[in-house]
Structure 1
């Protein structure tokens, strides 16, 4: 696809970059005679931190003004009602916006905490070792926080690392096939208490078959949870229909809520709709999960809300909530995840096509030492989100190419020692930007060629 055809594609699939604050050469501290200081960067790093919607700043300032004007009274009497919600219920308007993003009922989602704190809270509630069923199945290359959560969870219950079963990508393969996961579930079905995988693998960009894996494990009486950090806002999800037991995610990647901002959880309604003070699954609890009508009576009785909100422990950060609320409204105004996914698939396919045409492209089946890059991500569009992960050979090449891209204000993500992750985001990236990213990538590889 030529640059001109890219522009045609960009007309077919609109870009909403004007709704976001985009770093420039000047703001990034990059000085060059080739480009004006005000030239915007090409930002392909939404898989790490999404760009800031421009409407976030006035939304945050509004809450700071409320704090200034009314102090504590803004919890119940916000000066900007009905535009802004009183702080006591500030997270509730998020529910109808979050639910369709993950394919859930409003009663099955909550905005709370951070990714790993939420994962830990859910694991404590859903990991129920009994008899021989004490083990957790997950991937060998899991994000470190997930591994730390799993290993410390089994230790809390008096077990050791032998109660963790990890599946590793086979030698000479770049990702983990679904069939291997199903085989592992079958092989260990009599000893598994829990299966927990990422929706999208952070390193390779592989989209796991959530529906198939969930169904297969649950047919064998195994609880199934998902870490959806790289999947939420990236690919369509149907957690309720797939009968996922629980899930956790962050919101600062494809939901563009800001660094370290409030995260979210999904808990299937079957675990909460019959909540009562005498009948509910034990969990890490706090007063914000208690019946709102009773909360301020300060009673020594936990009456859990009959929804995923019962897993909340504390009142949320107002600044975090309004940032996420602003971004979610923008996401839905631009068509939602299903609509954006159509553009995402087209754009990532184009990125892959351009990479495969490079003289430095190394086929996934070519395992000989070489010069160039290999795509780790599945080539099938149904097995990935918007991210493609490139493994550079030989050692040391990635740092040089990464530096060259940054000199040209192309913001990507590196995973040492040898991987660069490219993530064209449909909300704010274009086909023309894909063209230039690959062009600069080839320039860098040519420059450092031995």
Structure 2
């Protein structure tokens, strides 16, 4: 039976994503009503620039007073797509206090202070859904939170930032340098005018915190995530990865320790074998590889950003929250019962690819190998190639060492000792090898 009274929705933000949410609510109104069991009504839209023309939205719905909008007692669901920490946090908690459930796409806020939002939602008996906060249109958080609720997730490995994947893909496929690939990403609209959040890994780190929290049922904050960007990745790194049968990706990696007593979350560039499913993820697409105890290996793939894909995830949450509203129930809230500590990067164990600039003379390799042995880092392969110096003479060489698995702390100690050798002119790059 269709309920005649509509469910009222307040929209906070009407940019690329918000305008698309409003458009879909209008153009698919009948379908959404049929799926929910009641019609939806856009009751208000909070914006910063009210004079801007917004096609398809009644100007009477536009307001600059977001606080007054979320305090209205007749609002059923608040959709927050303004981003940032404040005023989003205050607006969301105020919405709960005044009887509304919330759908959010705010990865930064959830990673920074999700605990406050979850506590407020629980206190007032309301829903907080946030599928759009990670990987755009890809159904990922709900499968982790609900479909795998009876399983034990041990690892989440993924490409969760389309901008950086586009840049690395261009560097690999066309031989472009980092700056050239970034310029192309900007021209195509994949990168913002200020790309720092993407290329320095902040965006991916926020998503990793959210993924780890859901996967391991523990609280993981943005500050807990080790973060490295891709600005130091060079064409030489890409070429070296290719020689190893690998490609380079910026990965978000969330792992449960082998003894089950801690977790880690990290974001950094890494070489992965071309045989791994993530290696084939091209352009600005996202993909996340989940390893669960009973379900085995699962992969989620699709567009990770953009107005329409993100709006799709928002509308999916909106339908679910409205159904709960009609049934006078709520969906799953925060699950943080394990209270596992988040280990530091120093405890992470993986393989490494180290490129050194060294003097091209006898005994150098032996010196380098001794340093690795002294720090209990086992060498898998070594490749040395002589080259000319700036004056066209010999005397220099490039030494590439690939290790077996070792703790990050041991590798850091090794690198520090290598830099002190007179025969080592410089450490050109250090990159982890993952996905094997």
The structure whose Rg is larger is 2
Greater relative CO (CA pairs within 8 A, separation 6+): 1
Tell me the TM-score normalised to structure 1 length: 0.28
- Choose between structure 1 and 2: higher strand proportion: 2
